[in-house]
Amino acid sequence: MSDLLKITDLAVDFDTSYGKLHAVRGVSLDIAPGESVGIVGESGSGKTVFSRATMGLLRGSSVHRTGQILFEGTEISSLDSKQIREYWGTKIAMIFQDPMTALNPVRRIGAQMSESLIKRLGMSKSEAKDRAIELLTLVKLPEPELALEKYAHQLSGGMRQRVMIAMAIACNPKMLFADEPTTALDVTVQAQVLELLAELRKELGMAMVIITHDLGVVAGYTDRIAVMYGGEIVELASTTDLFTDTKMPYTEALIKSIPRVDRKRGSELASIEGMPPDPTSNRASCGFADRCPYAVQKCRDEHPQLVDAGNGHSYRCFFPIGGK
Protein backbone atom coordinates (compact mmCIF):
# COMPACT_ATOMS: atom_id res chain seq x y z
CA MET A 1 0.00 0.00 0.00
CA SER A 2 1.60 3.25 -1.06
CA ASP A 3 1.36 6.08 1.39
CA LEU A 4 -0.49 9.28 0.71
CA LEU A 5 1.39 11.12 3.41
CA LYS A 6 4.77 10.01 4.69
CA ILE A 7 6.25 11.91 7.62
CA THR A 8 9.71 10.95 8.78
CA ASP A 9 11.39 12.24 11.90
CA LEU A 10 9.58 15.56 11.88
CA ALA A 11 10.79 18.07 14.46
CA VAL A 12 9.60 21.64 14.93
CA ASP A 13 11.32 24.18 17.18
CA PHE A 14 10.31 27.74 17.90
CA ASP A 15 12.57 30.56 19.03
CA THR A 16 11.03 32.16 22.09
CA SER A 17 12.21 34.68 24.66
CA TYR A 18 12.93 31.82 27.06
CA GLY A 19 14.94 29.76 24.65
CA LYS A 20 14.22 27.16 22.06
CA LEU A 21 10.82 25.49 22.41
CA HIS A 22 10.72 21.93 21.05
CA ALA A 23 7.07 21.57 20.05
CA VAL A 24 7.41 18.42 17.94
CA ARG A 25 10.29 16.03 18.59
CA GLY A 26 10.90 13.46 15.93
CA VAL A 27 7.49 12.26 14.81
CA SER A 28 7.13 9.65 12.06
CA LEU A 29 3.74 8.72 10.68
CA ASP A 30 2.47 7.28 7.41
CA ILE A 31 -1.10 7.66 6.26
CA ALA A 32 -2.62 5.61 3.45
CA PRO A 33 -5.25 6.91 1.01
CA GLY A 34 -8.74 6.80 2.52
CA GLU A 35 -7.48 5.99 5.99
CA SER A 36 -8.84 7.61 9.14
CA VAL A 37 -6.29 8.39 11.84
CA GLY A 38 -6.81 10.01 15.24
CA ILE A 39 -4.12 12.12 16.89
CA VAL A 40 -4.81 12.41 20.59
CA GLY A 41 -3.06 14.50 23.20
CA GLU A 42 -3.47 17.13 25.89
CA SER A 43 -3.03 20.87 25.34
CA GLY A 44 0.64 21.47 24.65
CA SER A 45 1.36 17.95 23.41
CA GLY A 46 2.32 19.31 20.00
CA LYS A 47 -0.62 17.89 18.08
CA THR A 48 -1.67 21.20 16.55
CA VAL A 49 1.89 22.20 15.60
CA PHE A 50 2.27 18.77 14.01
CA SER A 51 -0.85 19.27 11.90
CA ARG A 52 0.14 22.80 10.89
CA ALA A 53 3.58 21.65 9.85
CA THR A 54 1.97 18.98 7.70
CA MET A 55 -0.30 21.59 6.15
CA GLY A 56 2.74 23.72 5.35
CA LEU A 57 1.32 26.51 7.47
CA LEU A 58 4.42 26.99 9.58
CA ARG A 59 6.59 29.52 7.85
CA GLY A 60 8.74 32.27 9.29
CA SER A 61 12.16 32.93 10.66
CA SER A 62 11.44 31.78 14.21
CA VAL A 63 10.31 28.32 13.10
CA HIS A 64 12.85 25.56 12.58
CA ARG A 65 11.61 22.42 10.89
CA THR A 66 13.63 19.29 10.24
CA GLY A 67 12.67 15.89 8.92
CA GLN A 68 10.58 14.97 5.91
CA ILE A 69 6.95 15.53 5.01
CA LEU A 70 6.18 13.81 1.73
CA PHE A 71 2.72 14.13 0.24
CA GLU A 72 2.41 11.79 -2.75
CA GLY A 73 6.18 11.77 -2.82
CA THR A 74 6.66 15.56 -2.86
CA GLU A 75 8.39 17.31 0.04
CA ILE A 76 6.03 20.09 1.02
CA SER A 77 8.75 22.53 2.09
CA SER A 78 10.01 22.49 -1.51
CA LEU A 79 6.74 24.02 -2.73
CA ASP A 80 6.81 27.74 -3.45
CA SER A 81 3.93 29.95 -2.37
CA LYS A 82 2.03 29.43 -5.61
CA GLN A 83 2.40 25.67 -5.44
CA ILE A 84 1.40 25.52 -1.79
CA ARG A 85 -1.84 27.31 -2.64
CA GLU A 86 -2.45 24.60 -5.19
CA TYR A 87 -1.70 22.00 -2.52
CA TRP A 88 -4.18 23.47 -0.05
CA GLY A 89 -7.72 22.55 -0.91
CA THR A 90 -7.00 20.08 -3.71
CA LYS A 91 -4.54 17.83 -1.89
CA ILE A 92 -5.14 18.55 1.74
CA ALA A 93 -7.67 20.70 3.58
CA MET A 94 -8.27 21.63 7.18
CA ILE A 95 -11.15 22.45 9.48
CA PHE A 96 -10.61 24.19 12.76
CA GLN A 97 -11.91 24.06 16.31
CA ASP A 98 -13.59 27.43 16.32
CA PRO A 99 -15.75 27.84 13.21
CA MET A 100 -16.72 31.36 14.27
CA THR A 101 -13.23 32.77 13.97
CA ALA A 102 -12.41 30.67 10.92
CA LEU A 103 -15.23 32.26 8.92
CA ASN A 104 -15.10 35.85 7.76
CA PRO A 105 -17.66 37.75 9.87
CA VAL A 106 -18.35 40.52 7.34
CA ARG A 107 -18.88 38.43 4.20
CA ARG A 108 -21.88 36.33 3.34
CA ILE A 109 -21.48 32.54 3.43
CA GLY A 110 -22.14 32.33 -0.31
CA ALA A 111 -19.37 34.80 -1.17
CA GLN A 112 -16.86 32.97 1.02
CA MET A 113 -17.75 29.63 -0.45
CA SER A 114 -17.67 30.64 -4.11
CA GLU A 115 -14.32 32.45 -3.83
CA SER A 116 -12.24 29.29 -3.94
CA LEU A 117 -14.52 27.69 -6.52
CA ILE A 118 -14.11 30.64 -8.88
CA LYS A 119 -10.40 31.21 -8.30
CA ARG A 120 -9.23 27.63 -8.00
CA LEU A 121 -11.58 25.70 -10.22
CA GLY A 122 -12.30 28.53 -12.66
CA MET A 123 -16.05 28.29 -12.29
CA SER A 124 -18.37 31.06 -13.34
CA LYS A 125 -20.36 32.88 -10.69
CA SER A 126 -23.54 30.94 -11.31
CA GLU A 127 -21.70 27.61 -11.49
CA ALA A 128 -20.04 28.40 -8.19
CA LYS A 129 -23.39 29.18 -6.63
CA ASP A 130 -24.86 25.88 -7.80
CA ARG A 131 -21.83 24.01 -6.53
CA ALA A 132 -22.03 25.83 -3.17
CA ILE A 133 -25.65 24.75 -2.80
CA GLU A 134 -24.65 21.21 -3.73
CA LEU A 135 -21.89 21.23 -1.11
CA LEU A 136 -24.16 22.61 1.61
CA THR A 137 -26.69 19.91 0.75
CA LEU A 138 -23.92 17.33 1.03
CA VAL A 139 -23.14 18.51 4.58
CA LYS A 140 -26.89 18.46 5.34
CA LEU A 141 -27.33 22.13 6.07
CA PRO A 142 -31.07 22.87 6.07
CA GLU A 143 -32.23 25.41 3.46
CA PRO A 144 -28.88 25.82 1.68
CA GLU A 145 -30.13 28.56 -0.70
CA LEU A 146 -31.05 30.77 2.25
CA ALA A 147 -27.80 30.00 4.06
CA LEU A 148 -25.76 31.47 1.20
CA GLU A 149 -27.23 34.88 1.98
CA LYS A 150 -26.42 34.71 5.68
CA TYR A 151 -23.48 35.87 7.75
CA ALA A 152 -21.58 33.57 10.11
CA HIS A 153 -23.15 35.07 13.24
CA GLN A 154 -26.62 34.13 12.01
CA LEU A 155 -25.74 30.43 12.12
CA SER A 156 -25.42 28.17 15.16
CA GLY A 157 -22.08 26.58 16.06
CA GLY A 158 -23.01 23.26 14.47
CA MET A 159 -24.19 24.94 11.25
CA ARG A 160 -20.98 26.98 11.05
CA GLN A 161 -18.93 23.82 11.37
CA ARG A 162 -20.96 22.30 8.52
CA VAL A 163 -20.17 25.34 6.38
CA MET A 164 -16.47 24.95 7.23
CA ILE A 165 -16.59 21.30 6.23
CA ALA A 166 -18.36 22.18 2.97
CA MET A 167 -15.63 24.72 2.16
CA ALA A 168 -12.88 22.26 3.05
CA ILE A 169 -14.19 19.55 0.71
CA ALA A 170 -15.04 21.98 -2.11
CA CYS A 171 -12.00 21.05 -4.22
CA ASN A 172 -12.11 17.30 -3.45
CA PRO A 173 -9.02 17.09 -1.23
CA LYS A 174 -7.34 13.74 -0.77
CA MET A 175 -6.89 14.33 2.91
CA LEU A 176 -8.84 16.30 5.50
CA PHE A 177 -7.27 17.50 8.74
CA ALA A 178 -9.86 18.16 11.44
CA ASP A 179 -8.32 20.01 14.39
CA GLU A 180 -10.63 19.53 17.40
CA PRO A 181 -13.65 19.74 15.07
CA THR A 182 -16.25 19.19 17.78
CA THR A 183 -14.72 20.57 20.97
CA ALA A 184 -16.71 23.79 20.83
CA LEU A 185 -19.98 21.96 20.15
CA ASP A 186 -22.71 20.34 22.25
CA VAL A 187 -22.64 16.55 22.49
CA THR A 188 -25.72 16.17 20.31
CA VAL A 189 -24.20 18.34 17.59
CA GLN A 190 -20.84 16.65 18.07
CA ALA A 191 -22.45 13.32 17.25
CA GLN A 192 -24.03 14.81 14.11
CA VAL A 193 -20.74 16.31 12.90
CA LEU A 194 -18.73 13.13 13.54
CA GLU A 195 -21.31 11.06 11.65
CA LEU A 196 -21.20 13.55 8.80
CA LEU A 197 -17.40 13.42 8.59
CA ALA A 198 -17.47 9.62 8.55
CA GLU A 199 -20.06 9.59 5.75
CA LEU A 200 -18.17 12.14 3.66
CA ARG A 201 -14.94 10.22 4.06
CA LYS A 202 -16.55 7.10 2.63
CA GLU A 203 -18.40 8.94 -0.10
CA LEU A 204 -15.43 10.99 -1.30
CA GLY A 205 -12.69 8.48 -0.49
CA MET A 206 -10.70 11.01 1.52
CA ALA A 207 -8.13 10.19 4.15
CA MET A 208 -8.94 11.93 7.41
CA VAL A 209 -6.92 12.97 10.43
CA ILE A 210 -8.92 13.89 13.54
CA ILE A 211 -6.95 15.80 16.16
CA THR A 212 -8.50 15.81 19.62
CA HIS A 213 -7.88 15.71 23.37
CA ASP A 214 -10.76 13.28 23.83
CA LEU A 215 -10.11 9.60 23.09
CA GLY A 216 -13.84 9.00 23.28
CA VAL A 217 -14.42 11.15 20.20
CA VAL A 218 -12.08 9.15 17.97
CA ALA A 219 -12.84 5.66 19.35
CA GLY A 220 -15.73 5.07 16.96
CA TYR A 221 -14.45 6.95 13.92
CA THR A 222 -10.82 6.00 13.25
CA ASP A 223 -8.79 3.05 11.94
CA ARG A 224 -5.64 3.98 13.87
CA ILE A 225 -4.77 6.29 16.74
CA ALA A 226 -1.50 8.06 17.55
CA VAL A 227 -1.19 9.29 21.13
CA MET A 228 1.05 12.35 21.46
CA TYR A 229 2.72 13.52 24.64
CA GLY A 230 5.36 16.20 25.04
CA GLY A 231 5.88 16.54 21.29
CA GLU A 232 6.35 12.82 20.62
CA ILE A 233 4.19 9.92 19.58
CA VAL A 234 4.15 7.70 22.66
CA GLU A 235 1.83 5.05 21.29
CA LEU A 236 0.57 4.22 17.83
CA ALA A 237 -1.82 1.35 17.18
CA SER A 238 -5.00 0.27 15.48
CA THR A 239 -7.95 1.76 17.34
CA THR A 240 -8.99 -1.63 18.70
CA ASP A 241 -5.49 -2.54 19.89
CA LEU A 242 -5.01 0.83 21.53
CA PHE A 243 -8.04 0.28 23.75
CA THR A 244 -7.81 -3.48 24.29
CA ASP A 245 -4.03 -3.97 24.39
CA THR A 246 -2.85 -0.64 25.81
CA LYS A 247 0.93 -0.57 26.26
CA MET A 248 1.73 2.96 27.37
CA PRO A 249 0.79 4.03 30.91
CA TYR A 250 -0.10 7.49 29.61
CA THR A 251 -2.66 6.02 27.19
CA GLU A 252 -4.10 3.96 30.02
CA ALA A 253 -4.41 7.08 32.19
CA LEU A 254 -6.13 8.98 29.36
CA ILE A 255 -8.66 6.19 28.86
CA LYS A 256 -9.39 5.98 32.58
CA SER A 257 -9.89 9.73 32.95
CA ILE A 258 -12.84 9.84 30.54
CA PRO A 259 -16.19 9.94 32.33
CA ARG A 260 -18.46 7.22 30.95
CA VAL A 261 -22.16 7.55 30.37
CA ASP A 262 -22.54 3.77 30.09
CA ARG A 263 -20.99 2.92 33.46
CA LYS A 264 -22.20 3.30 37.01
CA ARG A 265 -20.25 5.86 38.91
CA GLY A 266 -17.31 4.92 41.06
CA SER A 267 -16.06 6.89 44.02
CA GLU A 268 -13.60 9.08 42.19
CA LEU A 269 -12.67 9.78 38.59
CA ALA A 270 -9.14 8.82 37.70
CA SER A 271 -7.25 12.01 36.91
CA ILE A 272 -3.72 12.50 35.67
CA GLU A 273 -2.03 14.57 38.34
CA GLY A 274 0.84 16.89 37.56
CA MET A 275 1.69 18.84 34.45
CA PRO A 276 3.00 17.95 30.98
CA PRO A 277 6.78 18.25 30.65
CA ASP A 278 8.53 21.57 29.98
CA PRO A 279 8.66 22.02 26.18
CA THR A 280 11.94 23.96 26.35
CA SER A 281 13.93 21.23 28.09
CA ASN A 282 16.19 18.78 26.30
CA ARG A 283 14.69 15.63 27.66
CA ALA A 284 16.95 12.97 29.13
CA SER A 285 14.17 11.06 30.88
CA CYS A 286 10.77 9.68 29.92
CA GLY A 287 8.51 12.73 29.57
CA PHE A 288 5.77 10.99 31.54
CA ALA A 289 8.01 9.72 34.36
CA ASP A 290 6.93 12.38 36.89
CA ARG A 291 3.25 11.52 36.45
CA CYS A 292 3.49 7.80 35.85
CA PRO A 293 2.35 5.42 38.63
CA TYR A 294 4.76 2.72 37.41
CA ALA A 295 7.87 4.87 36.97
CA VAL A 296 11.21 3.59 38.32
CA GLN A 297 14.68 5.14 38.35
CA LYS A 298 15.45 4.04 34.80
CA CYS A 299 12.51 6.11 33.53
CA ARG A 300 14.07 9.22 35.08
CA ASP A 301 17.56 8.52 33.77
CA GLU A 302 16.94 7.48 30.19
CA HIS A 303 14.72 8.56 27.35
CA PRO A 304 12.78 5.58 25.95
CA GLN A 305 12.85 4.88 22.20
CA LEU A 306 9.84 3.83 20.18
CA VAL A 307 9.47 0.03 20.39
CA ASP A 308 7.80 -1.89 17.59
CA ALA A 309 5.48 -4.52 19.03
CA GLY A 310 4.46 -5.79 15.59
CA ASN A 311 1.11 -5.51 13.88
CA GLY A 312 1.59 -1.77 13.45
CA HIS A 313 1.63 -1.25 17.21
CA SER A 314 4.48 0.80 18.67
CA TYR A 315 5.01 2.46 22.03
CA ARG A 316 7.61 4.47 23.92
CA CYS A 317 8.01 2.84 27.33
CA PHE A 318 10.58 0.70 29.15
CA PHE A 319 7.94 -1.19 31.08
CA PRO A 320 4.83 -1.50 28.91
CA ILE A 321 1.59 -2.65 30.46
CA GLY A 322 1.15 -6.39 29.98
CA GLY A 323 4.88 -6.87 29.28
CA LYS A 324 6.77 -6.70 26.00
Site of interaction with other proteins (CB under 8 A): 42-43, 142, 156-159, 186-192, 194-195, 213-217, 219-220, 239-240, 243-244, 253-255, 257-262, 264-266, 268-273
Q: How far apart are CA 273 and CA 217, in angstroms?
A: 22
Please tell me the distance from the alpha carbon of residue 227 to that of residue 41, in angstroms, as a whole number: 6
Start-end of H helices in 139-209: 144-148, 157-168, 187-204
Residue 162, burial from CB neighbour count under 10 angstroms (0-12, 13-18, 19+): buried
Residue (33 or 216) nearer to other proteins, CB: 216
Min dist CB 142 to other proteins, Å, is: 7
Q: Quick one: 121 or 219, whose CB is closer to other proteins?
A: 219
- CB nearer other proteins, residue 113 or residue 141: 141
Q: How far is the CB of 323 from other proteins (least distance, A)?
A: 22
Shortest distance in whole angstroms from residue 102 CB to other proteins: 18
To other proteins, the closest distance from the beta carbon of 299 in angstroms equals: 19
CB of 42 or CB of 278, closer to other proteins: 42
CA distances from 270 to 25, 95, 211, 254, 255 (A): 28, 31, 23, 9, 9
3-state SS, residue 40: strand
- C-beta separation of 91 from 173 below 8 A: yes
Q: Residue 81 Cβ, how far from other proteins at the closest point, in Å?
A: 34
Q: How far apart are CA 315 and CA 324, in angstroms?
A: 10
In this complex, which beta carbon is closest to other proteins, that of residue 188 or of residue 282? 188
